[in-house]
């Protein structure tokens, strides 16, 4: 039963990558013997020997491939030559180009080297010319012509006082150039094929040359003649002289004569005695395949052949480079393997965790060799045994034993020594009639393995109870059971957690379930049908009775082992799903596909939780660690990626982030309460919450002396905080509720900051362009409100006191001065329409008031409202202000008429009309809120 407290995985993060760093070409080791320089396309990678990791990568800006490079003898200057015919000088520790110049060569540079003083650089071109450059004074000093074809080798004499340069081209001769006269002194003829390397004796009087014509020549440089020709019976790519001092008896050196080491097409190092032309030592690699057949004919495409041999005199080591782009370090005097680095793995076909604590990974590439990487140092152990491409791997439960199968129709079992980490082959089996494409190991104990082949059969192999750790012989395995399982290639096999069931997936679109209970035969239990294309992988759940299959139709399916029905289908990959494994105790799936993606699925919800994208090609290899906290993927893009489960880390970070947000919110509240607005605003901006920042701005604007306080606060912010504030203003300005706050902040920024500073803000132009349309819309809206407020002013000026003479209202002009106070209209509804009662009394009082005002000396300006002594309109007068007082005849009369001069009948008619207007005005005013005038006035201002 699954643990109820189990947390589903949500994400993986890349913790380590093993990438290609050398794809062929020149290799050079620094003088301090700490770094290896090698080419990889348009880059020169600097590999740190102690860690096995690329610490610097010098890449061409023009993406042109690097044809050659040279590191100065003092390890300070690196010069590269590209196909663009440019020479570039680099500060390689900073990966910076310090200068570049034209190579003058008409075609790319093929070789280059520095002299011992690190001041002269020689470049040999494909145009047959050699040019010398003074890298200090930066000019070309020599242009040496005369070579035929590509100059693939240039090398200075170690004694710089001689000013001699050696070169070799397609004519197989070694030219000696005198740099004083810029002339070719002589051509040393001995080889009949390309000269690959030169080595000089410490005294400078003897030179050794090697060539692909299977000979090495010893030259006397004083007489410029051949001292000895040594046949080595292989194409030699590199030669190194052994030091005169030292005990090298382990490798056959018994005399003080000149000895040298060769590396060539046979893939082994050999020690030769120059005086007798005798091979005194031949290196033997553990389980290395024989490079030559019995009749002595050598294979031209031997993958283990050596292409470079470099000395490391300070540490008494040698570095050899193989045709498969592996760099091997050997320790003298015993020529024991010290370190191995894989520069290029080609296609990665399978990868598995290995060793105690998953400290290693074993990798099957498009090669007959297996590679075991130590994850801590990236150091590699190369395993020889298979004679054709290894296709599949599987590891037993304890992790020290694993099995492999290959196109050579064989399977092999390998064992790792827990103490030394060395891996050796302990068993092998040959029974299949075609390439073995899949292999699986027993889950409970190392008792058997099962294999599936392109011959459509599945075999079960019995393993011995114990592999002898001291025995040198390889145990021969025999098949316990063989069954023709499918009609097409068997792509995958898997053993159930209890070792009682076997599942197989085939190119015939089906998966089958087999019983392992029988001693001799496999019993077919059922067939899983439903995929539309071939099945690439099968995997048993560790807890439930279900089987997972992945197919070329882009789907992953879960099947019931009881009734063989499809329980769930997972769709998400755009191409073939190549691998599927269970994680999180069987509650989640990991799948990898031809689209280069790895997907994490939750079985219960059929949901793709995460898609991991780190590869550019098919992801063939996928494996989870025993602790279920890591996984490794291998792809056809030559990259191997180790992923770390970061679910708990991200959850802890999220919780810490939430706690920090809560603390900051509380601190912000305290700062606002204490009116420490500057710190509050800075804290709100650090939270990156525009609404919180707006709250602080509103609090500042509501305080006393808000404008000056806002200016002081905003202008004291840092540059990045002002930049964030400008970005927030763009958001606030889109909402009518917060546009005034945005415009207030913008006014401060635009008023006090120069345009040059504003334009330096990231995205300032975009922000300002986003402010313009909304600002124009707000201005239009305020303009309409201002017009509406002017209409209220007009209504106010045209209203008159009820019962006032008609002459008072004639031809009055409008006062457009904005209202200074909120005017309240109070209508007594009990007055009725008859003009009697309170209404009549009110009109009489108003008449008396008018008489008093006229007596008190008020100006008879029709546009000026009648005021009391304190300058305010009395409540009785405010209550009686009604409609406009235009005369019915529409003529102009500048004087007010007194009501006493009119007849009583006319007064009664006017009173009735005024009462009707009183009621209409009361209904109109009742619809307006009491504070509307002041609100509109504030918006307008």
First to last CA, the chain: 73
Residue 927 has pLDDT above 50, yes or no: no
- Please report which confidence band the pLDDT of residue 445 belongs to, taking 50, 70 and 90 as the band edges: confident
Q: What architecture is domain 349-486? A: 7 Propeller (2.130)
For the record, the structure tokens of 176 come out as 């000696």
Rounded to 10°, the helix 719-732/690-701 angle is: 90
CATH of the domain spanning 18-251: 2.130.10.10
Residue 900 pLDDT = 39
DSSP one-letter string for 896-939: PPPGGGS-HHHHHHHHHHHHHHHHHHHHHHHTS-TTHHHHHHHH
Q: Which DSSP helix (H) or strand (E) runs through 55?
A: strand 53-59
Stretch 176-187: mean pLDDT: 92
Alpha-carbon distance of 198 to 208, in angstroms, equals: 6
Residue 805 pLDDT = 57
Return mean pLDDT, the chain.
Answer: 81
Alpha-carbon distance of 797 to 883, in angstroms, equals: 10
Stretch 698-727: mean pLDDT: 83
Residue with tokens 């894989």: 342
Residue 152 pLDDT = 93
Position with higher pLDDT, 678 vs 866: 678
For the record, the structure tokens of 750 come out as 């635009």
Decide: 392 and 411 in contact? Cβ < 8 Å.
no
For the record, the structure tokens of 794 come out as 């007009």
Residue 274 has pLDDT above 50, yes or no: yes
Alpha-carbon distance of 315 to 31, in angstroms, equals: 11
Residue 862 has pLDDT above 50, yes or no: no
The single-letter DSSP state of residue 336 is E
Alpha-carbon distance of 406 to 386, in angstroms, equals: 7
Alpha-carbon distance of 727 to 723, in angstroms, equals: 6
Alpha-carbon distance of 584 to 9, in angstroms, equals: 7
- Please report which confidence band the pLDDT of residue 873 belongs to, taking 50, 70 and 90 as the band edges: very low
Decide: 153 and 124 in contact? Cβ < 8 Å.
yes
Alpha-carbon distance of 850 to 858, in angstroms, equals: 10
Residue 799 pLDDT = 80
The single-letter DSSP state of residue 417 is -
Contacts of residue 452, Cβ cutoff 8 Å, sequence gap at least 6: 436, 437, 438, 439, 458, 485, 490, 491, 492, 493, 504, 506
Residue 788 pLDDT = 86
Provide the strand spans (E) within 530-576. 535-540, 546-551, 555-560, 566-571
Residue 829 pLDDT = 38
Residue 695 pLDDT = 85
Residue 872 pLDDT = 38
Instruction: Tell me, rounded to whole angstroms, the distance of Cα 113 from its chain centroid.
Output: 37
Residue 864 has pLDDT above 50, yes or no: no
Decide: 652 and 11 in contact? Cβ < 8 Å.
no
Residue 369 has pLDDT above 70, yes or no: yes
For the record, the structure tokens of 367 come out as 């090669």
Residue 469 has pLDDT above 90, yes or no: no
- Of the chain, the percentage scoring pLDDT greater than 90 comes to 44
Position with higher pLDDT, 125 vs 914: 125
Residue 674 has pLDDT above 70, yes or no: yes
Instruction: Tell me, rounded to whole angstroms, the distance of Cα 406 from its chain centroid.
Output: 35
Residue 871 pLDDT = 39
Position with higher pLDDT, 873 vs 547: 547
31-34: long-range pairs with CB below 8 Å, 24+: 31/73, 31/74, 31/75, 32/75, 32/314, 33/312, 33/314, 33/315, 33/317
- Please report which confidence band the pLDDT of residue 541 belongs to, taking 50, 70 and 90 as the band edges: very high
Alpha-carbon distance of 94 to 849, in angstroms, equals: 96
Burial class (CB in 10 A: 0-12, 13-18, 19+), 585: middle
Alpha-carbon distance of 71 to 79, in angstroms, equals: 7
Peptide bond into 333 cis (omega under 30): yes
Stretch 577-594: mean pLDDT: 94
Position with higher pLDDT, 858 vs 338: 338
Residue 567 pLDDT = 94
449-452: long-range pairs with CB below 8 Å, 24+: 449/394, 449/403, 449/411, 449/413, 450/493, 450/495, 450/502, 451/405, 451/411, 451/493, 452/485, 452/490, 452/491, 452/492, 452/493, 452/504, 452/506
- Please report which confidence band the pLDDT of residue 468 belongs to, taking 50, 70 and 90 as the band edges: low
- Of the chain, the percentage scoring pLDDT greater than 70 comes to 82
Alpha-carbon distance of 240 to 38, in angstroms, equals: 19
Residue 719 pLDDT = 82
Strand partners, 270: 262, 282
Decide: 353 and 625 in contact? Cβ < 8 Å.
yes
- Please report which confidence band the pLDDT of residue 300 belongs to, taking 50, 70 and 90 as the band edges: low
pLDDT in tens, 301-358: 677 789 999 999 999 999 999 988 889 999 988 888 888 888 888 899 999 999 888 8
Most distant CA pair in the chain: distance in Å?
Answer: 157
Position with higher pLDDT, 808 vs 898: 808
- Please report which confidence band the pLDDT of residue 894 belongs to, taking 50, 70 and 90 as the band edges: very low
- Please report which confidence band the pLDDT of residue 853 belongs to, taking 50, 70 and 90 as the band edges: very low
Equal CATH topology for 18-251 and 531-653:
yes
Residue 438 has phi, psi (to 5 degrees) of -150, 150
For the record, the structure tokens of 696 come out as 């602080």
The single-letter DSSP state of residue 298 is B
Reading phi first (left if > 0) and then psi (alpha if -120 to 50, else beta), residue 890 is in left
CATH of the domain spanning 531-653: 2.130.10.10
For the record, the structure tokens of 35 come out as 């770094």
Stretch 601-613: mean pLDDT: 93
Alpha-carbon distance of 931 to 940, in angstroms, equals: 14
Q: In the chain, where are the structural domains located?
A: 18-251, 349-486, 531-653, 654-783
Q: Which of 578, 588, 569, 671 lies closest to 619, judged by CA? A: 578
pLDDT in tens, 212-271: 999 999 999 999 999 999 999 999 999 999 988 888 888 888 888 889 999 999 889 999
**129-133, 534-538, 833-837: range with lowest mean pLDDT:** 833-837
Alpha-carbon distance of 132 to 125, in angstroms, equals: 11
Residue 294 has pLDDT above 70, yes or no: no
Alpha-carbon distance of 246 to 271, in angstroms, equals: 15
**68-82, 268-282, 323-337, 829-843: range with lowest mean pLDDT:** 829-843
Residue 496 pLDDT = 94
Alpha-carbon distance of 697 to 710, in angstroms, equals: 8
Residue 119 has pLDDT above 90, yes or no: yes
């Amino acid at each position: 039963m699954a643990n109820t407290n189990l947390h589903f995985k949500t994400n993986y993060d890349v913790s380590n990558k093993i990438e290609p760093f050398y794809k062929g070409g020149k290799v050079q080791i620094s003088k301090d013997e700490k770094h290896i320089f090698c080419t990889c396309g348009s880059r020169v990678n600097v590999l740190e020997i102690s860690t096995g990791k690329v610490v610097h990568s010098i890449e061409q800006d023009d993406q042109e491939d690097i044809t050659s490079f040279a590191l100065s003898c003092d390890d300070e200057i690196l010069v590269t030559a590209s196909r663009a015919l440019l020479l570039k000088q680099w500060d390689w520790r900073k990966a910076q180009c310090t200068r570049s110049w034209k190579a003058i060569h008409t075609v790319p540079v093929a070789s280059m080297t520095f002299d011992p003083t690190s001041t002269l650089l020689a470049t040999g071109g494909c145009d047959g010319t050699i040019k010398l450059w003074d890298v200090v004074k930066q000019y070309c000093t020599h242009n040496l012509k005369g070579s035929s074809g590509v100059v693939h080798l240039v090398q200075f004499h170690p004694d710089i006082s001689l000013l001699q340069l050696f070169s070799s081209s397609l004519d197989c001769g070694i030219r000696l150039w005198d740099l004083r006269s810029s002339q070719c002194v002589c051509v040393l003829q001995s080889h009949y094929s390309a000269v690959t390397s030169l080595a000089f004796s410490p005294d400078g009087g003897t030179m050794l040359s090697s060539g692909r014509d299977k000979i090495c020549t010893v030259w006397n440089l004083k007489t410029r003649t051949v001292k000895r020709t040594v046949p080595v019976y292989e194409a030699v790519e590199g030669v190194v002289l052994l030091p005169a001092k030292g005990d090298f008896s382990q490798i056959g050196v018994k005399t003080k004569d000149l000895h040298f080491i060769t590396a060539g097409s046979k893939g082994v190092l050999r020690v030769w005695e120059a005086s007798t032309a005798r091979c005194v030592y031949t290196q033997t690699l553990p389980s290395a395949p024989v490079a030559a057949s019995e009749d002595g004919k050598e294979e031209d495409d031997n993958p283990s052949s050596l292409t470079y041999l470099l000395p490391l005199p300070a540490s008494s080591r040698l570095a050899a480079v193989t045709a498969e782009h592996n760099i091997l370090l050997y320790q003298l005097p015993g020529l024991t393997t010290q370190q191995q680095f894989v520069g290029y793995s080609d296609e990665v076909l399978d990868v598995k965790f290995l060793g105690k604590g998953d400290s290693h990974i074993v990798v099957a590439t498009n090669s007959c060799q297996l590679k075991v990487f130590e994850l801590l140092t990236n150091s590699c152990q190369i395993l020889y045994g298979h004679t054709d491409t290894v296709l599949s791997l599987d590891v037993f439960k304890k992790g020290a034993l694993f099995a492999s199968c290959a196109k050579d129709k064989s399977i092999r079992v390998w064992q790792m020594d827990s103490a030394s980490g060395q891996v050796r082959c302990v068993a092998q089996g040959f029974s299949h009639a075609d390439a073995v494409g899949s292999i699986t190991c027993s889950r409970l104990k190392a008792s058997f393995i099962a294999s599936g082949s392109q011959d459509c059969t599945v075999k079960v192999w019995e393993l011995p109870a114990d592999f002898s750790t001291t025995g040198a012989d390889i145990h021969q395995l025999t098949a316990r059971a063989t069954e023709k399982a499918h009609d097409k290639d068997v792509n995958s096999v898997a053993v159930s957690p209890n070792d009682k069931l076997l599942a197989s997936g085939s190119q015939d679109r089906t998966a089958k379930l087999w019983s392992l209970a029988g001693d001799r035969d496999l019993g077919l239990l059922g067939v899983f049908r439903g995929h539309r294309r071939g099945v690439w992988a099968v995997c048993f759940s560790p807890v439930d009775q279900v089987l997972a299959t992945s197919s070329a139709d882009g789907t992953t399916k879960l099947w019931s082992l009881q009734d063989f029905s499809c329980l769930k289908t997972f769709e998400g990959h755009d191409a073939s799903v190549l691998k599927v494994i269970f994680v999180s105790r069987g509650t989640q799936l990991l799948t990898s596909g031809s689209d280069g993606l790895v997907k994490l699925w939750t079985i219960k919800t059929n949901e793709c939780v995460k898609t991991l994208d780190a590869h550019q090609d098919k992801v063939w290899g996928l494996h989870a660690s025993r602790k279920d906290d890591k996984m490794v993927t291998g792809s056809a893009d030559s990259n191997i990626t180790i992923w770390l489960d970061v679910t708990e880390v991200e959850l802890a970070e999220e919780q810490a982030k939430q706690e920090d947000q809560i603390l900051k919110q509380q601190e912000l509240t305290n700062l606002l309460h204490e009116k420490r607005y500057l710190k509050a605003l800075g804290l709100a901006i650090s939270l990156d919450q525009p609404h919180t920042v707006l709250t602080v701005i509103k609090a500042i604007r509501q305080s006393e002396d808000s404008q000056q306080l806002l200016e002081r606060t905003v202008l004291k912010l840092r540059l990045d905080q002002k930049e964030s504030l400008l970005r927030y203003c763009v958001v606030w300005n889109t909402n009518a509720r917060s546009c005034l706050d945005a415009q207030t902040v913008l006014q401060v920024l635009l008023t006090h900051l120069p345009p040059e500073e504003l334009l330096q803000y990231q995205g300032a132009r975009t922000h300002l362009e986003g402010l313009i349309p909304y600002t124009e819309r707000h201005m239009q809206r305020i303009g309409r409100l201002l017009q509406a407020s002017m209409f209220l002013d007009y209504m106010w000026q045209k209203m008159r006191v009820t019962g006032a003479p008609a002459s008072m209202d004639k031809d009055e002009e409008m006062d457009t001065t904005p209202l200074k106070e909120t005017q309240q209209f109070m209508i007594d509804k009990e007055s009725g329409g008859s003009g009697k009662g309170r209404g009549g009394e009110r009109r009489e009082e108003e008449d008396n008031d008018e008489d008093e005002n006229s007596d008190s000396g008020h100006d008879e300006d029709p546009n000026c409202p009648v005021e009391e002594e304190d300058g305010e309109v009395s409540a009785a007068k405010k209550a009686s202000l009604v409609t406009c007082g235009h005369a019915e005849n529409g003529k102009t009369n500048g004087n007010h008429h007194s009501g006493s001069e009119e007849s009583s009948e006319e007064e009664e008619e006017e009173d009735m009309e005024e009462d009707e207007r009183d009621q209409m005005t009361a209904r109109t005013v009742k619809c307006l809120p009491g504070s509307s005038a002041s609100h509109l006035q504030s918006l307008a201002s």
